[in-house]
Amino acid sequence: MGSIGIRGTHYEVELVAKEMFIAVWDGAVDVSIGVGDEPGRQVSFGAGEAFSYASISSTGKVTMLLEPPKNFNSGMSTTAGTAEESSEEAENSEEVTSNDEPSDNSEEETTEVAQTSNSQSSDAAVPEANDIGQDTEMTAGDGQFTEIAVDLAEDGSYLATDEFNTAQPKTAEQLLPDRSGKLTYNNAELLDGNSTAGGLKNFQMSMDIDFDTLGVTAGNLTLDDNEGEWRATFSGNISTSGQIALDISHASHGNNLADGEIDTAFYDGLDSIIGNFELEEVLRPNINTTGSFIIK
């Protein structure tokens, strides 16, 4: 279960199987995530936040995404209309042609719908009533429908904009050839995380990258829960396309051996790295921790 407090104007949520996908196109939303009887924790997306897209599993795991989920069309609804709406439009066309002269142009038929709702005529193309949230029966005979429709069609202020997708920054693939030397990313922030052994704290992470060899020469991740310290060391490499592949060489939870995965990607050009981690004890896989982070 979850609740969303709206701080913006344009967002999209879709439930696929047991996973919920979120995309914030304009503005920001706060998502309160609660599993079972646990109190909800708040995660924010959109303007002023590190991420605008994410998926949330049925267990409450939040996976931050660099790009919109593929089941969304960028900045648009995933459906273009329903069979019921198409049926209503067909009925409206039939009603008009029964009272007026037939027309071979569908746009002219739409205009006639507006004109039959009042006694005035207009040369401007008028959107259908469903397109602006109006019903012709609500304004029939009062001479307002055509005026409202034309005003909205001219100013376009009622249309949502897609500001989040207008920027065209350089990709990691484009920036890598110009970068050389070694750099350590160690200014870490845990954006969201949880553990089956209680709340997480003392999150630290560092990653050494050699841009001359495109290698992740050393990496460390540590954090604490109520049963001890989670620790993971890793290394990896970077492809010429900018993809980061990491391999955990050792992981533990307290005195217990652990294993898991760390997925990362460049963010904000090459200035930051974002990612997700999943760690679990080898002999007790039900003891595990997950989280999302950003390091600079």
Amino acid at position 252, single letter: S
Residues 200 and 268 in one domain: yes
Residue 83 inside a domain? The answer is no
Nearest Cα neighbor of 265 from 231, 242, 291 is 242
Cβ atoms of residues 35 and 61 within 8 Å: no
C-alpha gyration radius of the chain? 27
Backbone angles phi, psi at 166, to 5 degrees: -90, -25
Q: What is the pTM of this model?
A: 0.48
Q: What is the CATH number of the domain that holds 290?
A: 2.40.128
Tally of domains within the chain:
3
Tell me what the mean pLDDT of segment 32-57 comes to.
81
Half-sphere exposure at residue 197, Cβ-oriented, CA atoms within 13 angstroms: 20
Residue 277 inside a domain? The answer is yes
Name the more confident of 151 and 255: 255
What pLDDT was estimated at residue 30?
87
Residues 237 and 293 in one domain: yes
What pLDDT was estimated at residue 280?
96
Tell me what the mean pLDDT of segment 159-179 comes to.
71
Q: How confident is the model at residue 176 (pLDDT cuts 50, 70, 90)?
A: very high
Half-sphere exposure at residue 274, Cβ-oriented, CA atoms within 13 angstroms: 16
> Which tens digits make up the pLDDT trace of 21-30?
998 888 888 8
Cβ atoms of residues 129 and 160 within 8 Å: no
Task: Say whether pLDDT at 44 is over 50.
Answer: yes
Cβ atoms of residues 270 and 175 within 8 Å: yes
Cα angle value 132/135/136 (rounded, 5°): 115
DSSP H helical ranges for the chain: 83-99, 106-116, 136-139, 145-155, 172-175
Q: How confident is the model at residue 222 (pLDDT cuts 50, 70, 90)?
A: very high
Task: Say whether pLDDT at 85 is over 60.
Answer: no
Range of the domain at 290: 170-296
Residues facing residue 32 across a β-bridge: 3, 42
199: tokens are 């709340």
What pLDDT was estimated at residue 45?
86
Residues 15 and 122 in one domain: no
Task: Quote the CA–CA distance of 209 and 234 in Å, as a whole number.
Answer: 12
Question: Quick one: what percent of the chain has pLDDT higher than 90?
Answer: 38
Residue 39 inside a domain? The answer is yes
Residues 150 and 202 in one domain: no
Task: Quote the CA–CA distance of 44 and 156 in Å, as a whole number.
Answer: 29
138: tokens are 């609500």
